[in-house]
Amino acid sequence: MKKLLNDPADLVAESLRGVERAHPELRVDHEQRILYRADAPVRGKVGLLSGGGSGHEPAHAGFIGPGMLDAVCAGEVFTSPVPDQMAEATKQIDGGAGVLHLVWNYTGDVMNFDMAAELAAAETDTTVEAVVMNDDVAVEDSLFTAGRRGTGAAIAVEKIVGAAAEQGRGLSELADLARRVNDASRSMGMALTSCTVPAKGSPTFDLPDDEIEIGIGIHGEPGRRRVPLASAHDIAGMLVDPILADRDFTGGEGVLVFVNGMGATPALELYLMYNEVAALLDKAGVVPVRTLVGPYVTSLDMAGCSVSITRLDDELLRLWDAPVATSALRWGM
């Protein structure tokens, strides 16, 4: 394992120290591993809380700031944070209008956020709502399973709901909006290589030089199937086709297309990939009106990418375009 690292046990703690030093616009509770907008709670605004395991940087701390999240909880690498963290953060970001939990759909995250909501309800009078985000079409959507993973669409949900929260909208309206954006989003990912969890010290799975994994998540888990190494053109098809098969993305104002790097894939390749994705969308009559290309939801040092598509109506487009000032997404301010 070759990484910029000291003791793997200290990785998350030390990285959070770096985030704190680099971003004076954040407040970091190292004890509890919570990162806040420095000015939280914002009076009268619904507080937005997300978070999850570490190893997905810039998710989640890169999305804290005006126009997006108020706080995130950081877990160990690929391990959901614990209810105490979430309950504490919920308390701290309640500006009097309640707190919305934006939960990435993983068994651990959902259960820990559930317990946090129970704790918060027992200990404070903060009103909490939770929305679970589950956009990954690699996984069958079924009531009898853990359901679909939450992946890239969370960026659209958090950005759009963040903008609406700045406008002063109420908790249940924001929860509805979050569900609407989630429903309007689908994602699919692939890996060229496994990642290496530092505590384990070796790759999570072995992948020969001439094979790739299709339908991966963001925790280094193997995908739905292993196929021979293919061209970017063919890979784009393997990602875009199942997305378009799952939902109609024509109409509306068009779509937001997000080509996400898994951590070790550089921008040169991601833009090449976007070219292929956009060509397929063209052919399908789907119109990209906004684009995001880069490593936003990573899986440690995995090489690969995922594609997320969100259908935008006029309102969602305006909220996406609204000012945002986080370390990973910033415009208009």
Ligand X SMILES: Nc1ncnc2c1ncn2[C@@H]1O[C@H](COP(=O)(O)OP(=O)(O)O)[C@@H](O)[C@H]1O
Q: Which residues bind a copy of itself (CB under 8 A)?
A: 2-6, 11, 14-19, 21-23, 54-55, 57-58, 62, 192-193, 209, 212, 229, 231-233, 235, 263-276, 278, 288, 291, 293, 295, 298, 300-301, 303-305, 325, 330-333
Q: Report how far residue 98's alpha carbon sits from residue 126's, in angstroms, rounded to the nearest whole number.
A: 6
Report the residue number, 36 or 78, with the smaller CB distance to Mg ion: 78
The string over 120-151, giving b where at least 16 C-beta atoms fall within 10 Å of a residue's C-beta and e elsewhere, is beeeeebbbbbbbbbbbbbbeeeeeeebbbbb
Are the C-beta atoms of 189 and 239 separated by less than 8 Å? Answer: yes
Beta bridge partners of 185: 310
306 binds other proteins (CB under 8 A): no
Phi, psi of 108, deg, nearest 5: -65, -45
Are the C-beta atoms of 59 and 154 separated by less than 8 Å? Answer: yes
- Out of a copy of itself, other proteins, Mg ion, none, what residue 111 binds, judged by CB under 5 to 8 A for its kind, is other proteins
Report the residue number, 2 or 43, with the smaller CB distance to a copy of itself: 2
Are the C-beta atoms of 108 and 76 separated by less than 8 Å? Answer: no
Binding characters for other proteins, 75-114, by CB under 8 A (x = yes): xxxxxxxxxx---------------------xxx--xx-x
Q: Report how far residue 179's alpha carbon sits from residue 175's, in angstroms, rounded to the nearest whole number.
A: 6
**Helices 171-183 and 153-166, axial angle in degrees (round to 10):** 150
Provide the sign of the torsion angle of the four alpha carbons 270, 272, 273, 278, taken in this order: positive
Are the C-beta atoms of 102 and 48 separated by less than 8 Å? Answer: yes
Q: Identify the three-state secondary structure at position 265.
A: coil
Name which position in 107, 172, 250, 275 contacts ligand X (CB under 6 A).
Answer: 107
Size of the site for other proteins (CB under 8 A): 38
187 binds Mg ion (CB under 5 A): no
311 binds other proteins (CB under 8 A): no
Least gap, CB of 181 to ligand X (angstroms): 25
Least gap, CB of 108 to Mg ion (angstroms): 6
Q: Which of 30, 60, 219, 233 is catalytic?
A: 219
Report the residue number, 200 or 283, with the smaller CB distance to ligand X: 200
- Out of other proteins, ligand X, Mg ion, none, what residue 205 binds, judged by CB under 5 to 8 A for its kind, is other proteins
Least gap, CB of 297 to other proteins (angstroms): 15
Which residues are CB-neighbours of 206 under 8 A, at least 6 positions away?
194
30 is catalytic: no
Are the C-beta atoms of 72 and 326 separated by less than 8 Å? Answer: no
Catalytically active residues are 56, 219
**Binding residues vs ligand X (CB under 6 A):** 79-80, 107-108
**Binding residues vs Mg ion (CB under 5 A):** 78-79
**Binding residues vs other proteins (CB under 8 A):** 53, 75-84, 106-108, 111-112, 114-115, 138-140, 144-146, 149, 197, 199-200, 204-205, 217, 219-225
